[in-house]
Amino acid sequence: MDIYEEIVKLRQDGRRGAVATIVNVRGSIPSFETAKMLVRDDGSIAGTIGGGCVEAEVWQAAREVMENEKPRSLTFNLNQDPKYDTGLVCGGTLDIFIEPVLPPALLYIFGAGHVSVNLYRVARGAGFDVTVIDDREAYASPQRFPEAKEVIAEDFEQAMARIEPNESSYIVIVTRGHRDDMRVLRWAVQTPARYVGMIGSKRKTITIFRELTKEGIPAQLFDRVHAPVGLDIGAITPEEIAVAITAELIAVRRHAERALPHMSWFKNHQSEPEADDATTKVHEEKESHR
């Protein structure tokens, strides 16, 4: 079994894992330097780094690495710790580096207007695989999005019926109207997508939230929605808005640990009745760029 082919297959299937590599050896160990072991998200493994208690501990650490998406190093002294006694003549020390194997970050952009074109460019440059969906063939075309993973020109309901976002997926809603935004949001919050964002003013955000909850969609599903979408950097133009949105996508993807200036009102202000005129005006100007 070729471990590199297994890694490629894992990523193509949209799954995650972790690779453990022996990077340094001192003395005698039951394996060899550069030996590798792949731990998949279902707990199965490919390859080996020598078996025994060392491999069992590395397996557990690998599960944590794929969950945290951050690499780590481990050192094992087989000479001093009796629990690593395998009955073999081993008395060395080994260093093991464990790195996450992550599926491609899939970005679904609903809407193919001015903001979408710029978001596609910036997000793709940041490493996202982009799919664009719009019900207008003149907008959702390979000519406007030449390097997109996929461009879907069909009714939003039809498109949503065949798209299956996973936990590595990101959804940004920037259609040309509130009604379409609400249709897509209704579907998006019920997917396992890692990120859901929707453009719009505070007034629009609250109105859509209320309408969808009246339909029976659980209010807690909106806790993870970023609306208005993007970091609050004062963005106005489509180009600036694309940067703000991509920055927020990156922050979520990289597990940013410090507080960031999010614009979302869904989490803490779901009951506020109206937006102040100045704030509403800014976001309605942004929507006009879609």
Give the end-to-end CA distance of the chain in Å, rounded to a whole number.
49
Interval 38-82: pLDDT, tens: 999 999 999 988 877 788 899 999 999 998 889 999 998 876 555
Residue 277 confidence (pLDDT): 41
CA distance 91 to 77: 8
- Lowest mean pLDDT, pick from 69-73, 84-88, 104-108, 115-119: 84-88
CA distance 207 to 204: 5
Average pLDDT estimate for 140-150: 95
> What secondary structure letter does DSSP report for 236?
-
Average pLDDT estimate for 218-229: 90
Q: What percent of the chain has pLDDT over 70?
A: 84
Interval 242-285: pLDDT, tens: 999 999 999 999 888 677 777 666 655 544 444 444 434 444 44
3-class SS of residue 66: helix
Average pLDDT over the chain reads 85
Question: Is the confidence at residue 114, as pLDDT, over 90?
Answer: yes
173 in Cβ contact with 160 (< 8 Å): no
Q: What percent of the chain has pLDDT over 90?
A: 59
CA distance 56 to 242: 45
- Lowest mean pLDDT, pick from 24-28, 29-33, 38-42, 133-137: 29-33
Interval 184-214: pLDDT, tens: 999 999 999 999 999 988 888 888 989 999 9
Pick the more confident residue, 203 or 158.
Answer: 158
Residue 91 confidence (pLDDT): 62
Interval 161-185: pLDDT, tens: 999 999 889 999 999 888 999 999 9
All residues at 6 or more sequence positions from 215 whose CB lies less than 8 Å from its CB, including other chains: 186
CA dihedral 82, 85, 91, 96 (to 10 degrees): -90
- Lowest mean pLDDT, pick from 22-36, 77-91, 125-139: 77-91
3-class SS of residue 187: helix
- Lowest mean pLDDT, pick from 30-34, 142-146, 155-159, 251-255: 30-34
Residue 238 confidence (pLDDT): 94
